[in-house]
Chain A
Amino acid sequence: MKLGRRHFLAGVAGAAIMGSAGRLQAQTSVSLSVPWMGWPEEQVRPLMASFEASTPGVKIAEERLPIAELFRTLEVRLSARSATPDVYLVDGPLTASYAARGHLLDLGNLVGGERDRYVASTLVQGTFKDKLFALPLGTSSQLLFYNKKLFAEAGLPEPSADPEKRMTWEGLLDIAKKLTKPETSQFGFAFENSNPYQLLPLPQSRGVKVIGDDGLTATGYVDGDGMVDVMTWYKDLFHTHKVSPIGTFQTGVTQEMFGSGKLAMVLGGTWNLGGFAKFKDLDFGVVAHPFFKGGKPVTPTGSWHVGINPRTAHMEQAQAFVKWMSTRDAMNLWFDLRQYPPSIKQIWDERASTTFVDPVWKIVQYELANTATPRPITPGYREYEEFLRTAMQDIQTGGDVKALLTKAATSIDREMRKYR
């Protein structure tokens, strides 16, 4: 990962120089309102500064918002059908929701014949009714991180990094039990958080459908027998086997636990590679996402996209910004800033012999090509996710699985009516 850091610093320095040069330009510049995720400033500003330097006269007023507020404020502003935001960050599965309500500009002309430049699966979630509405800024995958020291202490052999020889959930549970030590508050395993993104691969690994074919029916799927079985297995991790710490709803928490050696294994995204860097004593290995015995390996995927508000007062500049975001240079800088698996093939190729020789990226590449399964494509994903997330959290804290899932399914169906 050393190379990544060097690239990152070079990127920051370059962007800073270019940014300050850009500031000398044009007094009468257009400023685009761009709601963005609340990533640290040093992972956001350089990207915007680099665009500003390349396009004199356009400034980006990015608003770094916490995730929940990003969604809520976008909802208010878009529903008000106002001219702001000009360009905004779209969570992949929300593309359909925004597009169905006319909040996204069709990017077909902008991308034109360049679709081949993208890793095919990344375009899927930015597409609704065969039209591309949101450009992927990257994609994602989940990996199993394990603490080498804790494995050695428990006398356990390290698992194989070969995705073909990945662990089963049954096997993982056995190991997790051996790595759980209540006397020192050490836990064997945790999912980095309890969101549907994280947990849907569990039922999917058993071939359970998580939404009806129409993309609008939850009853019979969200509360179907397959789902109830799997979520009961999930609940048992916390309450019967006690290998997972209750209350781990947020990546920030599991990251600290894993980093300080209180958690032996964590299933998490590539963003953790950066998050773990601050723990100097941490020695960890990475293997592929587990699957259920008799089932098939499934991994979550999808990430952030960028889209244009069709009502923007600065259409030309907004398109220039999004177009720039699809360039090799922008995507290369973005990878340096935040290590999401790239959506542009060129980045994979260019870094094949440098960054991506790391076994971590070999696994990610394998998953993207073979096991990556996008979240349900439905205009009601926002509602679907919201109710399911609440149910999943309540299951973790010990609620009744069947009752919670039925309640979620009923609520989702009720909300979905408006999309029928």
Chain B
Amino acid sequence: MTETIARNPLAVALRYGALSILAFAVVCPLAWLALASLRPQAEIFQPVSEFGWRTFVPSRLTLDNYRALMSGDFPLALRNSSIVAVTTVVFGLVVNALAGFAFAAFDFRGKNLLFLLVIVSFMMPFEAIVMPLYVLISGLGWTNSYKALIIPEVANGMIIFLFRQFFASIPKDFYEAARVDGASWLYIWAFIAMPLSWPTIATSSLMLFLSQWDSFFWPVVAASDPDYAVVQVAIARNINFEQNDWGGLFASTNLAILIGMIPFLLMQRFYVRSLISGGIK
């Protein structure tokens, strides 16, 4: 089918035309967002209603919005979010991979019920558990601390599920051979199973990182002290009921997107490989 399209120049033109329109529609709002953050405050909305080249090209480029952001509490929020997200990734990988390994390698009583609970845990909307979670965290005296932001997010049903599926796909012979050679289960997990699962590790890290980078409601509830404000909370501060700081909003959103992309760029290689290896199986 590709060849018939390729032979017909009109079809090629049409196809690229359609793709270009689609690409434009997808990129346009993001490009506008990026450029709007470089405009002077008063000019952000002026050209919108008269759609044209002025919509995208600012009359004057300025870093004022970013400067204002950097002199405020946004850098602190970036720092907080980074600490929270990276710590969650580190601990989350260990905890969830171990749990996934247990589900894949061992047979024990109540395993299926327990696994069902794991699956239910990630299907449950967060709003449904926020109340008991808050009572627990506040009972432990953890409100307004990194603990409150990190610990509830470490164990993640979805990631356990991913690891279980991957570890279950490794032939049990691998494990048994190692057991015969006298390896402990922890050794097998760390030096046989984990090294095979880089694609799953990459995917899981990204998911954990992004879930924390994007988290908003829980940080507001559990750690609303300004010292623990995270990125999404700092962004939302620009919007209030009676007046919006659009420049600050766009600039902070842009920074959050750019920094949130770093782990994706770092892990991209593995992410793609996981798709390829999935194809071979």
A3 adjacent to chain B (CB < 8 Å): no
A253 to B44, CA, bound (A): 11
The reply to whether A271 and B134 contact each other, CB–CB distance below 8 Å, is no
The reply to whether A72 and B49 contact each other, CB–CB distance below 8 Å, is no
Residue of B at shortest CB range from A79?
B131
The reply to whether A38 and B240 contact each other, CB–CB distance below 8 Å, is yes
Interfacial chain B residues near A251, Cβ < 8 Å: 241-244
The reply to whether A63 and B224 contact each other, CB–CB distance below 8 Å, is yes
Interfacial chain B residues near A79, Cβ < 8 Å: 131
The smallest beta-carbon distance between A74 and chain B, in angstroms, is: 10
Interfacial chain A residues near B50, Cβ < 8 Å: 184-185
A69 to B127, CA, bound (A): 13
A71 to B208, CA, bound (A): 28
Contacts A250-B244, A255-B243: A80 and B224 contacting too (C-beta < 8 A)?
Answer: no
B45 adjacent to chain A (CB < 8 Å): yes
Using a CB-CB cutoff of 8 Å, which residues 44-92 of chain B contact chain A?
Answer: 44-46, 49-50, 72
Interfacial chain A residues near B224, Cβ < 8 Å: 35, 63, 65, 73
Residue of A at shortest CB range from B224?
A63
Contacts A63-B224, A72-B217, A76-B130: A262 and B242 contacting too (C-beta < 8 A)?
Answer: no
A331 to B171, CA, bound (A): 73
Contacts A37-B241, A61-B226, A250-B244: A66 and B45 contacting too (C-beta < 8 A)?
Answer: no
A84 adjacent to chain B (CB < 8 Å): yes
Q: Which of A65, A275, A279 contacts B42 (CB 8 A)?
A: A279
Interfacial chain B residues near A65, Cβ < 8 Å: 220, 224, 236
The smallest beta-carbon distance between A328 and chain B, in angstroms, is: 25
B245 adjacent to chain A (CB < 8 Å): yes
Proximity bits, A307-330, B CB within 8 Å = 1, else 0: 000000000000000000000000
Q: Which of A66, A73, A84, A262 contacts B239 (CB 8 A)?
A: A66
A300 adjacent to chain B (CB < 8 Å): no
B166 adjacent to chain A (CB < 8 Å): no
A271 to B244, CA, bound (A): 12
B274 adjacent to chain A (CB < 8 Å): no
The reply to whether B44 and A76 contact each other, CB–CB distance below 8 Å, is no
The reply to whether A73 and B220 contact each other, CB–CB distance below 8 Å, is yes
Count of residues in A whose CB is under 8 Å from the partner chain: 42
A235 to B242, CA, bound (A): 23
The reply to whether B242 and A69 contact each other, CB–CB distance below 8 Å, is no
Q: Which of B131, B138, B237 contacts A64 (CB 8 A)?
A: B237
A260 adjacent to chain B (CB < 8 Å): yes
Proximity bits, A40-80, B CB within 8 Å = 1, else 0: 11000000000000000000010111110100110011011
The reply to whether B240 and A37 contact each other, CB–CB distance below 8 Å, is yes
The reply to whether A185 and B240 contact each other, CB–CB distance below 8 Å, is no
A420 adjacent to chain B (CB < 8 Å): no
A278 adjacent to chain B (CB < 8 Å): yes
User: What does DSSP make chain B's interface, helix, strand, loop or mixed?
Assistant: mixed
The smallest beta-carbon distance between A250 and chain B, in angstroms, is: 7
Using a CB-CB cutoff of 8 Å, which residues 188-238 of chain B contact chain A?
Answer: 216-217, 220-221, 224-226, 236-237
A129 adjacent to chain B (CB < 8 Å): no
A256 adjacent to chain B (CB < 8 Å): yes
Interfacial chain B residues near A279, Cβ < 8 Å: 42
Q: Which of B42, B44, B143 contacts A280 (CB 8 A)?
A: B42
Q: Which of A72, A80, A272, A278 contacts B41 (CB 8 A)?
A: A278
The reply to whether B131 and A80 contact each other, CB–CB distance below 8 Å, is yes
Interfacial chain A residues near B217, Cβ < 8 Å: 69, 72
The reply to whether B220 and A38 contact each other, CB–CB distance below 8 Å, is no
Interfacial chain B residues near A257, Cβ < 8 Å: 45, 49
Interfacial chain B residues near A84, Cβ < 8 Å: 138, 143
Using a CB-CB cutoff of 8 Å, which residues 2-56 of chain A contact chain B?
Answer: 33, 35, 37-41
Interfacial chain B residues near A252, Cβ < 8 Å: 239, 243-244, 246
Interfacial chain A residues near B237, Cβ < 8 Å: 38, 64, 66
Interfacial chain A residues near B49, Cβ < 8 Å: 184-185, 257, 262
B178 adjacent to chain A (CB < 8 Å): no
B31 adjacent to chain A (CB < 8 Å): no
The reply to whether A38 and B239 contact each other, CB–CB distance below 8 Å, is yes
Contacts A61-B226, A69-B217, A256-B44: A274 and B244 contacting too (C-beta < 8 A)?
Answer: no
- Output the residue of B138, B217, B226, B241 with the most chain A CB within 10 A: B241
B114 adjacent to chain A (CB < 8 Å): no
A274 to B242, CA, bound (A): 10
B135 adjacent to chain A (CB < 8 Å): yes
A251 to B217, CA, bound (A): 23
A72 to B224, CA, bound (A): 12
Contacts A38-B240, A251-B243, A252-B246: A77 and B45 contacting too (C-beta < 8 A)?
Answer: no
Q: Across the A-B interface, give the 7 residue pairs with the lowest CB-CB distance, nearest first.
A: A252-B244, A185-B49, A271-B242, A256-B45, A63-B224, A66-B236, A38-B240
Spell out B's residues near A (CB within 8 Å): 41-42, 44-46, 49-50, 72, 130-131, 134-135, 138, 143, 216-217, 220-221, 224-226, 236-237, 239-246
Spell out A's residues near B (CB within 8 Å): 33, 35, 37-41, 61, 63-67, 69, 72-73, 76-77, 79-80, 82, 84, 184-185, 250-253, 255-257, 259-260, 262, 269, 271-272, 274-275, 278-280
17 A-B Cβ contacts within 8 A?
A37-B240, A37-B241, A61-B225, A64-B237, A67-B241, A69-B216, A69-B217, A73-B221, A80-B134, A80-B135, A84-B138, A251-B241, A251-B243, A253-B244, A255-B244, A262-B49, A271-B242
Extra contacts, 18 of them, besides A37-B241, A63-B224 (Cβ < 8 A), are: A33-B225, A38-B236, A39-B242, A61-B226, A66-B239, A67-B240, A69-B216, A69-B236, A72-B217, A73-B221, A76-B131, A77-B134, A79-B131, A80-B131, A82-B135, A185-B49, A185-B50, A275-B243
